[in-house]
């Protein structure tokens, strides 16, 4: 009946399924636990007609031509240069901290001197992770680093991760480096924006292929068993590719313990006014229990009366019903626990692990689409894992 099975219909699973069907001539079964496709990119209109991202704001950005071309087959785009500000004791300053921010937080003469200093230390246009900037010996650079650390990173990171910036992986804080430029954009990528009609229609179109069958509301465990040396599909050995994009621990009933994740509680609020904060994202970096407020209409470009916002409250994922594991917590201990689970697939050459959950990684949308496309290329070409 099927040549390949993809478990999960998020960005990873959907891109994989499409490539296997279209270029690999495979009949693909996609199995999805939730009642909808699109994974955490899923968006929909709320009760007030506002297009919202059910699982938190997802801003697409990429410099990867291949990814952009692939996705553009399924959507048009609403382009914008995504900008974020931090609310620091009521004052809104651009994040990543850049030369505009510098001039907002220091008086004129000092800001001009510091600007010259930063340019001479790092070069115009460079981007320096805060944890790197903190290592600089120059007293004045240290001063800036302390300001940025204290006002932008420390409290936000404590809320988001329950740990200090020193305790988490440097690649996480390195996502938002200090920028020696006047560019207020959050990302530098060439393409930034939203699928014009939303993510859900984009993924629907991706999966709408005569050789793809999508089963929603289906726990893969009902159909598939991962034995040490073979995969069973509905009780029979399945020799085609199986691409798994879910969490590994849950597949094996957490036999070695739970893989730690951070989760988020999203509190949506609707207002009759046409604007709540006049911009898409405000990070609360020194106050509040939530990390940020997103106002959707400024992300999606939707022309609608009234406005819907979401506040994000992070917490430690426990696996309780209804909780969603959003962010892998990247450290040695967790990686070795992850390896125990991934080793269970060692003797299963036809099983592939793909995505934020299955690989226990911090992937952006474009990076996971790229990985899915390349993995599909390898599968189609018959290259070994």
Nearest to 204 by CA among 7, 8, 48, 9: 9
Q: Indicate the residue among 161 and 191 with the shorter CB distance to ligand UDP.
A: 161
Fill in the per-residue mask, 238 to 277: x = in contact with ligand UDP (CB under 6 A), - = not in contact.
Answer: ----------------------------------------
CA distance 237 to 60: 39
The answer to whether the beta carbons of residues 262 and 327 sit under 8 Å apart is yes
Residue 176 interacting with ligand UDP (CB under 6 A)? yes
Collapsed DSSP state (helix, strand, coil) of residue 51:
strand
Residue 276 has φ and ψ, to the nearest 5°, of -105, -50
Tell me which stretch binds ligand UDP (CB under 6 A): 1-9, 33-41, 150-158, 195-203.
150-158
Tell me which stretch binds ligand UDP (CB under 6 A): 47-55, 60-68, 172-180, 247-255.
172-180
Please give the DSSP secondary-structure letter assigned to residue 260.
P
Tell me which stretch binds ligand UDP (CB under 6 A): 39-47, 152-160, 177-185, 236-244.
152-160
Tell me which stretch binds ligand UDP (CB under 6 A): 63-71, 173-181, 317-325, 374-382.
173-181
Q: Indicate the residue among 101 and 160 with the shorter CB distance to ligand UDP.
A: 160
The four Cα atoms 128, 281, 318, 12 give a dihedral, to 10 degrees, of -80
Q: Which residues pair with residue 226 across a beta bridge?
A: 231
Q: Indicate the residue among 187 and 233 with the shorter CB distance to ligand UDP.
A: 187
Nearest to 348 by CA among 234, 228, 224, 238: 228
Q: Indicate the residue among 112 and 150 with the shorter CB distance to ligand UDP.
A: 150
276-305 residues near ligand UDP, rule: CB under 6 A: 283, 285
Q: Residue 25 to residues 16, 107, 237, 275, 376: CA-CA distances in angstroms?
A: 13, 64, 21, 48, 12
187-206 residues near ligand UDP, rule: CB under 6 A: none
- Least distance in angstroms from the C-beta of 342 to ligand UDP: 23
- Least distance in angstroms from the C-beta of 152 to ligand UDP: 5
Out of 31, 88, 152, 243, the residue judged to bind ligand UDP by CB under 6 A: 152
The answer to whether the beta carbons of residues 21 and 379 sit under 8 Å apart is no
The answer to whether the beta carbons of residues 259 and 331 sit under 8 Å apart is no
Out of 73, 175, 190, 346, the residue judged to bind ligand UDP by CB under 6 A: 175
| Total site size for ligand UDP, rule CB under 6 A | 13
Q: Indicate the residue among 170 and 349 with the shorter CB distance to ligand UDP.
A: 170
CA distance 347 to 229: 5
Residue 91 interacting with ligand UDP (CB under 6 A)? no
Q: Indicate the residue among 174 and 306 with the shorter CB distance to ligand UDP.
A: 174
Tell me which stretch binds ligand UDP (CB under 6 A): 108-116, 148-156, 231-239, 251-259.
148-156
The DSSP bridge pattern shows strands 84-88 and 281-284 to be parallel
Characterize 341-379 residue by residue with b for buried, 16 or more Cβ atoms within 10 angstroms of its Cβ, and e for exposed.
Answer: beebbeebebbbbbbbbbbbbebbbbbbbbbbbebbeeb
Quote the radius of gyration of the chain (alpha carbons, Å). 22
Residue 86 interacting with ligand UDP (CB under 6 A)? yes
Q: Indicate the residue among 17 and 86 with the shorter CB distance to ligand UDP.
A: 86
Please give the DSSP secondary-structure letter assigned to residue 46.
-
Tell me which stretch binds ligand UDP (CB under 6 A): 110-118, 154-162, 229-237, 348-356.
154-162
Please state whether 350 falls in left (phi above 0), alpha (psi between -120 and 50) or beta: alpha
DSSP string covering 261-286: EEEEEEEEEEESSS-SSSSSEEEESS
Give the helix, strand, coil percentages of the chain, each rounded to 5: 35, 25, 45
- Least distance in angstroms from the C-beta of 132 to ligand UDP: 14
Out of 156, 226, 238, 276, the residue judged to bind ligand UDP by CB under 6 A: 156
Q: Which residues pair with residue 225 across a beta bridge?
A: 232
Q: Indicate the residue among 19 and 155 with the shorter CB distance to ligand UDP.
A: 155
- Which residues bind to ligand UDP, rule: CB under 6 A? 86, 95, 152-153, 156-157, 160, 172-173, 175-176, 283, 285
């Amino acid at each position: 009946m099927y040549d390949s099975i993809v478990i999960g219909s998020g960005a990873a699973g959907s891109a994989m399924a499409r490539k296997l069907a279209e270029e690999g001539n495979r009949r693909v079964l996609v199995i999805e636990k939730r009642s909808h496709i699109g994974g955490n990119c899923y968006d929909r209109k709320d009760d007030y007609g506002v297009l919202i991202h059910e699982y938190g704001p997802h801003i697409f950005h990429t410099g990867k031509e291949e990814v952009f071309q692939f996705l553009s087959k399924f959507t048009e785009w609403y382009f914008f240069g995504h900008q974020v500000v931090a609310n620091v004791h009521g004052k809104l300053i651009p994040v990543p901290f850049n030369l505009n921010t510098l001039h907002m937080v220091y008086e004129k003469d000092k800001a001009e001197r510091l600007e010259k200093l930063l340019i001479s230390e790092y070069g115009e246009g460079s981007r320096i992770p805060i944890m790197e900037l903190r290592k600089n010996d120059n007293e004045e650079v240290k001063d800036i680093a302390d300001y940025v650390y204290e006002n932008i990173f420390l409290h936000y990171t404590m809320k988001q991760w329950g740990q200090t910036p020193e305790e988490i992986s440097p690649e996480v804080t390195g996502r938002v480096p200090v920028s020696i430029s006047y560019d207020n954009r959050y990302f530098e990528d060439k393409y930034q924006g939203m699928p014009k009609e939303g993510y859900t229609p984009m993924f629907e179109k991706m999966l709408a292929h005569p050789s793809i069958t999508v089963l929603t509301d289906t726990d893969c465990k009902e159909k598939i068993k991962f034995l040490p040396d073979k995969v069973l599909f509905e009780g029979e050995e399945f020799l085609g590719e199986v691409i798994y994009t879910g969490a590994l621990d849950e597949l094996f009933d957490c036999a070695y313990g739970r893989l730690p994740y951070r989760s988020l509680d999203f509190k949506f609020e609707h207002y009759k006014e046409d604007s709540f904060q006049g911009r898409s994202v405000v990070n609360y970096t020194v106050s509040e229990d939530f990390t940020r407020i997103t106002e959707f209409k400024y992300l999606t470009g939707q022309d609608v009366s009234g406005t819907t916002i979401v506040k994000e409250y992070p917490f430690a994922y426990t696996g309780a019903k209804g909780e969603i594991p959003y962010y892998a917590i990247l450290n040695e201990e967790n990686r070795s626990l992850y390896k125990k689970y991934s080793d269970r697939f060692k003797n299963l050459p036809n099983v592939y692990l793909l995505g934020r959950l299955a690989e226990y990684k911090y992937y952006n949308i474009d990076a996971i689409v790229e990985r899915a496309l390349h993995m599909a290329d390898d599968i189609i070409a018959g290259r070994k894992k």
